[in-house]
Amino acid sequence: MAFEYIKEKVYSNQRLTRKEGIALFKSNDLLTLGRMATHAAEKKNGKRVYFVRNMHINPTNICVNRCKFCAFSKTKGEPGAYEMSVDDILDKARAADKSVREFHIVSGLHPDLPFTWYLDMLRALKKEFPKIHLKAFTAVEIDYLSKISGLSVIDALLKLREAGLGSMPGGGAEIFNAAVRNTLCAEKIGGNRWLEVIEVAHRVGLKTNATMLYGHIESYEDRIDHLLKLRDLQDKTSGFQAFIPLSFQPHNTEIKKSAYTTGFDDLKTLAISRLMLDNFDHLKAYWVMLGEKIAQVSLNFGVDDLDGTVVDERIAKAAGGTTDGSMTKDEIVHLIKQADRTPVERDTVYNIVKVWK
Ligand code: V47
């Protein structure tokens, strides 16, 4: 397929098809992809690049699922398994920098903690930190909490929201293709269930993100099909804020792979995501997995968001992530300015806190 034809479509704001998305993945004209993605990003966000001051909290790594790509999860009783009490979580939150605006909270699927424990945790955090946004629980966790509580997804979400839940992160989407998903994480909910849970969250007014785990055993076709399912749901609900491709980190996992994804593939995947997801406002480069340098270069490949300061990231680190899992606000601002973009500090739902001139 001629690249020129796709270019014309991009510059005249026409939606790309599955076939065109696959053709883009098969092309190696990275700089043209970058220019097209930058055009699409600037139409939405100008030169602005967003970040949030946040802190990750992972209350437990004990998980009843055994996803082959995950080096973070442990079985109860296994060396390295941990669970934090609500007091431990409060202590961790108290140690956060006073400027933090978001706690990003995700866990394994714990076999014994009751639903009320999660409500107590949210309430305790909200009581002590009323101004900090709680972005918590992937769709996989919400499905699990609904099962252990005997509540419908909608009722579980309403109770969690009442206790302080502000929005949901985009994890657990992995790759929707059923055969690949079955090889990677047979016990995990299927792709359609992930989409169903997210749709319910959007319907009750909770914003979410979406992710895609790439660079393992999936094909380009699987990546495009994943993006198209997200695009279809976003057409229905407009509830997604940002899309975040997650580059597979292979160490300590059960997936035989000796290398990280390449910078070329990372930039291509980000650019094509920007071009396919014409109804998503934001494309996030998760620097913890990509590395700070590729994340910075990605600002010329359609990215308008660098996530945040993160602090004490554990999931990528367990799988051999090469960054130290936290960046200061000044370091993020420096990366953005050096790429000739405008740093914008935001809150979780993209209200602007500060724009750097
Ligand atoms: O759900 C697990 C993935 C996710 C590996 O919404 C791995 O703002 C790569 O979802 N290599 C958690 N990825 C991280 C996540 C996230 C991160 C930052 C921001 C947001 C957001 C969401 O990490 C998991 C899983 O998909 N993951 N193991 C691995 N070896």
Amino acid at residue number 186: A
Centre of ligand 1 from the C-alpha of residue 171, in Å? 5
Integer Cα distance of 312 and 292 in angstroms: 16
308 lines ligand 1 (CB under 6 A): no
Centre of ligand 1 from the C-alpha of residue 30, in Å? 25
198 lines ligand 1 (CB under 6 A): no
pLDDT given for residue 104 in this prediction? 98
Mean pLDDT per block of 10 residues along the chain (357 residues) reads: 86 97 96 98 98 97 96 96 98 94 98 98 98 98 98 98 98 98 97 98 98 96 98 98 97 84 97 98 97 97 96 88 86 97 98 95
249 lines ligand 1 (CB under 6 A): yes
Q: In what order do the strands lie in the sheet with 165-167?
A: 54-57, 102-105, 133-136, 165-167
CB 208 within 8 A of CB 198: yes
pLDDT given for residue 232 in this prediction? 98
Atom 8, ligand 1: residue with shortest CA distance: 169
261 lines ligand 1 (CB under 6 A): no
Centre of ligand 1 from the C-alpha of residue 315, in Å? 7
Beta bridge pairs of residue 346: 352
Integer Cα distance of 8 and 314 in angstroms: 43
Within 10 angstroms of residue 79's Cβ, the number of other Cβ atoms is 5
Probe target for ligand 1 pocket from 143, 144, 174, 213, with the most ligand atoms within 8 Å of CB = 213
- Beta-sheet strands, E only, within 265-324: 282-283, 305-308
227 lines ligand 1 (CB under 6 A): no
- Report the nearest atom of ligand 1 relative to the CA of 321: 11
DSSP string spanning 192-231? HHHHHHHHHHHHTT--EEEEEEESSS--HHHHHHHHHHHH
